[in-house]
């Protein structure tokens, strides 16, 4: 009998929370216009604030390579590629971090980092432009913001939404950064990765490098053994390079050859 009562109590609790969920969803619909409902309600300044914090957290663990010339160079190339994107006015920041891993990261608001290990594997500036174009696309399309939003909805649900509606932006940014602490080790949607590859190749081409830098880098990554420590995180956070190449090939096809600019890559700033 006691068990029966507890079961009824549980059912009541469950039905209340389901009704509640429907209720706050309705409230949300009333207060947030259709166009903004799917996006986190963050303006560029909020995004920059979140990205700066998350990037500072990462740099605490993996600092920048101590070579001002190298950092200046990567910023020059990155900003040039970002100029052709749909968010050219973000305060873009690029950097090479001191890690033997082969990887690249980005955070909301225009923060892009690549590892020394990945930089060392590049053959020319066109390949760098392709890699940066991929990360720039994650920022432009707000892929991380969307990931954070989903995580926040899952983890904090109604509480977070209410906070958001109350307009406490500082609190919201704190929560997002909290969720974003492990952002760099999280996997984005596969579709977001394929979109970043596609769009990254387009951005590199638009910047005058030709579209084949990124596929060339993916080929190099595919040739590294999957068990190699340096690519472990990359494999965890991205689809396999062979799969990415297949997807790129399907969209690029022969059409892209006309944008090819052999030797347009130019020399890379040498690593010390």
- List contacts with Zn ion (CB under 5 A): 193, 196
Tell me how far, at minimum, the Cβ of 231 lies from Zn ion, in Å: 14
Q: From CA 92, how far away is CA 153, in angstroms rounded?
A: 28
Residue with smaller CB distance to Zn ion, 36 or 187: 187
Residue with tokens 């390079």: 241
Residue with tokens 């706050």: 24
Residue with smaller CB distance to Zn ion, 47 or 193: 193
Q: From CA 100, how far away is CA 58, in angstroms rounded?
A: 15
Q: How far is CA 116 from the centre of its chain?
A: 19
Residue with smaller CB distance to Zn ion, 46 or 193: 193
Tell me how far, at minimum, the Cβ of 33 lies from Zn ion, in Å: 30
Residue with smaller CB distance to Zn ion, 28 or 233: 233
Q: From CA 20, how far away is CA 188, in angstroms rounded?
A: 30
Tell me how far, at minimum, the Cβ of 200 lies from Zn ion, in Å: 9
Tell me how far, at minimum, the Cβ of 4 lies from Zn ion, in Å: 52
126: region left, alpha or beta (phi > 0 left; psi from -120 to 50 alpha): alpha
Radius of gyration of the chain (CA): 22
Residue with smaller CB distance to Zn ion, 196 or 204: 196
Q: From CA 220, how far away is CA 47, in angstroms rounded?
A: 33
Tell me how far, at minimum, the Cβ of 238 lies from Zn ion, in Å: 6
């Amino acid at each position: 009998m006691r068990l029966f009562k507890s079961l009824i109590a549980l059912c009541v609790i469950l039905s209340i929370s389901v009704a509640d969920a429907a209720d706050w969803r309705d409230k949300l619909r009333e207060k947030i216009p259709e166009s903004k409902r799917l996006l986190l309600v963050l303006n560029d300044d909020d995004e920059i604030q979140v990205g700066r914090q998350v990037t500072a957290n990462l740099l605490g663990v993996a600092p920048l390579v101590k070579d001002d010339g190298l950092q200046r160079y990567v910023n020059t190339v990155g900003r040039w590629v970002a100029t052709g994107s749909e968010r050219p006015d973000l305060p873009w920041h690029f950097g090479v971090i001191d890690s033997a891993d082969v990887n690249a990261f980005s955070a909301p608001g225009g923060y892009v980092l690549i590892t020394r290990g990945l930089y060392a594997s590049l053959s020319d500036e066109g390949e760098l432009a392709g890699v940066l174009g991929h990360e720039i696309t994650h920022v432009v399309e707000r892929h991380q913001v969307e990931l954070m939003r989903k995580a926040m909805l899952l983890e904090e649900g109604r509480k977070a939404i209410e906070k958001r509606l109350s307009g406490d932006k500082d609190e919201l940014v704190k929560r997002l950064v909290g969720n974003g602490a492990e952002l760099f080790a999280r996997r984005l949607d596969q579709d977001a990765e394929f979109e970043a590859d596609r769009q990254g190749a387009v951005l590199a081409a638009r910047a005058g490098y030709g579209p084949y830098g990124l596929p060339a880098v993916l080929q190099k990554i595919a040739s590294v053994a999957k068990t190699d420590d340096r690519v472990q995180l990359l494999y965890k956070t991205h689809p396999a390079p062979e799969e990415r190449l297949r997807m790129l090939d399907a969209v690029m096809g022969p059409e892209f050859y006309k944008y090819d600019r052999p030797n347009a890559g130019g020399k890379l700033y040498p690593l010390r």
